[in-house]
Structure 1
């Protein structure tokens, strides 16, 4: 099976407007979906990401703290999936709970290197 990284892009402004109850529903939806992916054998790993982080840029290794104000979008989490092909992962990604709150999923195939 091939591996794919599913990145969850979320609108930071939209996420900050969620009520505690809505945030709880979002977390529950992700937990249920992750459980379903695990049972189907597609999920290898996945986690939510904190809003803040560190960015290291260029040859000079300039360090910037996050969140990054130039971006309205943040990567809120990821799922590492396995499937036979991209079409299967696209079908899986369409069911991601992040879409219910205006989020976007990005699918990136994991590169394989022949020795």
Structure 2
């Protein structure tokens, strides 16, 4: 099986506007979805991400503390998934709970040795 990283992009304003009850519903929806993914053996791992991070840029390694004011969205979490192909992961990602609150998912295939061998 191939591995895929599912990044959860969330609108900072929409997330901060959620009530405590809506935040609990979102958390419960993610937990239920992760359980379903584990039962179908598509889930390798996944976690939410703290919004306070560090961005390091350029050759001089300029450090900026997050959240990053120039951005209206943040990566709020990830799932590391496994599936036979990208189309399968696309169908799986359509059910991600982050979409219910206006979020976006980004799917990135994880490169493996076969990918490097095909490039040579």
Please indicate the TM-score interval, normalised by the length of the shorter structure.
over 0.9
Whether 1:27 aligns to 2:21 is no
- Provide the C-alpha distance between the structure 1 equivalents of 2:63 and 2:73, rounded to a whole number of angstroms: 20
- Provide the C-alpha distance between the structure 2 equivalents of 1:102 and 1:93, rounded to a whole number of angstroms: 14
The TM-score normalised by the length of structure 1 is 0.98
Structure 1 SS opposite 2:71: coil
- Provide the C-alpha distance between the structure 2 equivalents of 1:58 and 1:97, rounded to a whole number of angstroms: 35
- Provide the C-alpha distance between the structure 2 equivalents of 1:60 and 1:25, rounded to a whole number of angstroms: 43
Match of 2:47 in 1: 47
Match of 2:60 in 1: 60
- Provide the C-alpha distance between the structure 1 equivalents of 2:51 and 2:60, rounded to a whole number of angstroms: 25
Match of 2:2 in 1: 2
Structure 1 SS opposite 2:82: strand
The TM-score normalised by the length of structure 2 is 0.94
Instruction: Flag structure 1 segments of 5+ consecutive residues without an equivalent.
Output: none
Structure 2 SS opposite 1:21: helix
Instruction: Flag structure 2 segments of 5+ consecutive residues without an equivalent.
Output: none
RMSD: 0.8
Whether 1:100 aligns to 2:76 is no
CA deviation string 1:11-39 (max 9, x = no partner): 00000000000000000000000000001
Structure 1 SS opposite 2:95: coil
State the shift of 1:112 in Å: 1.4
